[in-house]
Amino acid sequence: MKTRRGMTMTARDDRDEIILSWQELFDLTCGFLSAHGLSQAQADALAGALCNAERDGCRSHGLQRLPGTVETMAHPAFNRDADPVPQALTPAITRVDADYGFSILAAERGLPLLVAGARRLGIAVLAVNNGFHSTALWPLVEEIAAHGLAGLSMNPTHDWVAPAGGTAGALGTNPIAFSWPRRGRPPYVFDFATSAAARADIALHRQEGRALPPGWGLDAEGRPSTDPAAVLAGAMLPFGGHKGSALATMIELLAGPFIADRTSRQSATFDGGAKAAPCHGELIIAFDPALVGTALGKDEAAQDAAEDLFSRIERQGARLPGARRHAARALSESRGIAIPRPLHERILSMMPPAG
């Protein structure tokens, strides 16, 4: 099978989905972004994040987001050639201005200084500013864990979420992700929105014609609704009532004013109705869990205590966060990555003519 840009698609081609290798998927995604004028560095970074999400079965953060990048790149402030450069403000704090490109490239470029700072001081902060954000947080904190560090990341979005007891949007979906390194095993990683569901999950329900579970959102009049279109036009709800609302508020403060960037309300105002990905900041923190333990001669004991906690969870039959992603990753590596045929066809239809 040939795409409009001449790439060969291999493996199984079923009625409802096609199967691509990771490289084929990356070439398709990167080619799409480049064809729409995105610089090579920006395209490579964003394509890698989207393909990794698709590989790991996180479809709401995978290629489903690719068509929307065209709307984001059409925003008057978007910079297709953004070339972010990290700044070491102190030994513990690195800032990267994404320069109104996609934030993933800025975060990746700031990672080496973040890792070096955490190894030297035990804790370090990376502040990403002025980035259009459309990717999951877990890939970066998983990469932090690959360096033997624990990672924490968070960002605001747009004010789509009503606070607990409220009826209109005031908070963002405000995701938070955390990773903990493990010896000889994949890291412990969680990544979730502080809303009852990610906005992309609600959009996926609308696309597939499925009703939402109760408690996910409100319509434009502030009434509970299970209609995904009505919730997208109204307000989402935080998970766990006042607890999710409080966590979302914490993220607004730490990933907004704390790093001198936009709150979700300011991000929505900046969008100006363009329907682009939210443009805001991202706070990333890395910790060295071995530093104190090594200094006290208790590093091995601390690692054993962490593994004991994980094993006690798993022995009960409970699943550790991230386990589903790693299982999906193994399947993708053995059989290829399944892409819904309608999504694949939509991507090809949006590809500008070659030449």
- Annotated active-site residue in 56, 97, 191, 201: 201
Known catalytic residue: 60?
yes
Annotated catalytic residue 44: no
344 noted as active-site residue: no
Q: How many CA atoms lie less than 13 Å away from 46 in the CB half-sphere?
A: 33
Helical H segments across the chain, by residue range: 22-35, 40-55, 68-73, 103-121, 138-146, 199-208, 228-233, 242-254, 264-271, 289-295, 299-315, 323-335, 341-349
Q: What is the DSSP letter of 238?
A: B
Instruction: Answer whether 104's CB lies under 8 Å from 17's CB.
Output: no
Contact in structure between 245 and 228 (CB atoms under 8 Å): no
User: Residues 27, 44, 56, 61: which is the catalytic one?
Assistant: 61
Give the amino acid at 130: N
The pairing of beta strand 224-225 with beta strand 86-90? unpaired
> What's the CA gap between 170 and 344, in Å, rounded?
35
Q: From residue 208, how far is each of 25, 125, 204, 219, 328 by CA, in Å?
A: 23, 40, 6, 19, 22
Fill in the DSSP letter of residue 120: H
Residues ≥6 apart with Cβ < 8 Å to 80:
37, 38, 39, 42, 73, 101
Catalytic residue among 21, 39, 60, 83: 60
CB distance 148 to 302 below 8 Å: no
Active site residues per annotation = 60-61, 201
